[in-house]
């Protein structure tokens, strides 16, 4: 009978353990980014039907980011000699993003996220009609301070371009729109959301950020 013995070199497991340097993740924020949507600022002077702005902010908790948005939205439509429509209101969003670029030395982001959004708006409409006796008549209707809420799935990028400056984009799938009572007329447009008759709506923001550091960024896990 032949006996076989398999022996392991001393210290082999220790060498494997030494190859990997593990750093416990810290969930203390390292910085706050504040920025704005560039598309709104470009669209406002060239689109006669739109006027608006939006500001954005996020703060990091390791891979997770608390995100907050706040914006203003105005729409104006004119039908020559028949009707005028105007809408104005503010909106906000709050939610979280998860960064999937865990080992990028510049802390760039590719993220997926979720938002809850709220808006309050007022819309007015004037309809003109010609009467053979009374001439041109204007009928005025309005919805005042209408509340609305919806949910968004988000994805996008944040890239450091120079020192404290970042560029990025956010794509949004908006859905589950709910609005308050509007007995006078059906809402046409919801600030921050879009067409009120749509069950879902796509949105896109191209954003410029400035990052304000809070504490020194901890080193990333590395391999020797």
Note whether 175 and 151 are within 8 A (CB): yes
Residue 153 has pLDDT above 90, yes or no: yes
Q: What's the pLDDT tens digit per position in 68-83? A: 999 999 999 988 778 8
Of 30, 3, 1, 40, the C-alpha closest to 212 is: 30
Provide the residue ranges of all domains of the chain, joining segments of one domain with +. Answer: 25-213
**Stretch 139-164: mean pLDDT:** 95
Predicted confidence at residue 23, as pLDDT, reads 65
**Stretch 30-34: mean pLDDT:** 94
> Which element (helix H / strand E) includes 47?
none
Q: Which two tokens stand for residue 159?
A: 């890239």
Predicted confidence at residue 102, as pLDDT, reads 85
**CA separation, residue 114 to residues 27, 64, 94, 97, 155 (Å):** 20, 12, 8, 7, 9
> Which element (helix H / strand E) includes 160?
strand 135-162
Query: Band of the pLDDT at 10, cuts 50, 70, 90?
Result: low
Residue 21 has pLDDT above 60, yes or no: no
3-state secondary structure of 19: helix
Percent of the chain whose pLDDT exceeds 70: 84
Phi, psi of 46 (to 5 degrees): -105, -15
Measured CA to CA, the distance from residue 100 to residue 65 in angstroms comes to 12
Query: Band of the pLDDT at 105, cuts 50, 70, 90?
Result: confident
Note whether 134 and 165 are within 8 A (CB): no
The correct answer on CATH 3.40.50.300 for the domain covering 25-213 is no
Predicted confidence at residue 194, as pLDDT, reads 95
- β-bridge pairing 31-37 and 109-131: unpaired
Note whether 136 and 128 are within 8 A (CB): yes
Q: What's the pLDDT tens digit per position in 46-65? A: 999 999 999 999 999 999 99
pTM: 0.84
Note whether 124 and 158 are within 8 A (CB): no
Residue 3 has pLDDT above 50, yes or no: no
Q: What's the pLDDT tens digit per position in 82-93? A: 889 999 999 999
Predicted confidence at residue 184, as pLDDT, reads 86
Burial, 186: exposed, middle or buried (Cβ in 10 Å; 0-12, 13-18, 19+)? exposed
Predicted confidence at residue 183, as pLDDT, reads 86
Instruction: Please state, as a whole number, how many other Cβ atoms lie within 10 Å of the Cβ of residue 218.
Output: 13
């Amino acid at each position: 009978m032949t006996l076989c013995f398999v022996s392991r070199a001393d210290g082999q497991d220790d060498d494997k353990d030494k190859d990997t340097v593990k750093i416990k993740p810290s969930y203390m924020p390292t910085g706050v980014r504040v920025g704005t949507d560039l598309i709104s600022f470009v669209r406002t002077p060239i689109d006669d039907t739109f006027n608006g702005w939006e500001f954005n902010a996020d703060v990091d908790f390791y891979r997770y980011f608390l995100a907050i948005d706040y914006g203003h939205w105005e729409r104006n439509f004119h039908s020559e000699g028949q009707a005028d429509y105007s809408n104005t209101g503010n909106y906000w969003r709050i939610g979280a993003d998860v960064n999937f670029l865990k080992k990028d030395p510049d802390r760039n982001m590719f993220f997926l996220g979720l938002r809850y959004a709220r808006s309050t708006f007022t819309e007015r409409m004037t309809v003109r009609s010609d009467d053979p006796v009374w001439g041109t008549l204007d009928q005025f209707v309005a919805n005042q301070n209408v509340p609305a809420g919806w949910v968004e799935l988000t994805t996008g990028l944040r890239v450091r371009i120079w020192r404290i400056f970042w560029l990025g984009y956010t794509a949004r799938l908006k859905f589950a729109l709910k609005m308050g009572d509007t007995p006078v007329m059906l809402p046409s447009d919801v600030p921050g959301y879009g067409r009120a008759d749509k069950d879902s709506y796509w949105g896109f923001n191209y954003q410029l950020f400035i990052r304000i550091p809070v504490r020194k960024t901890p080193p990333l896990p590395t391999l020797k």
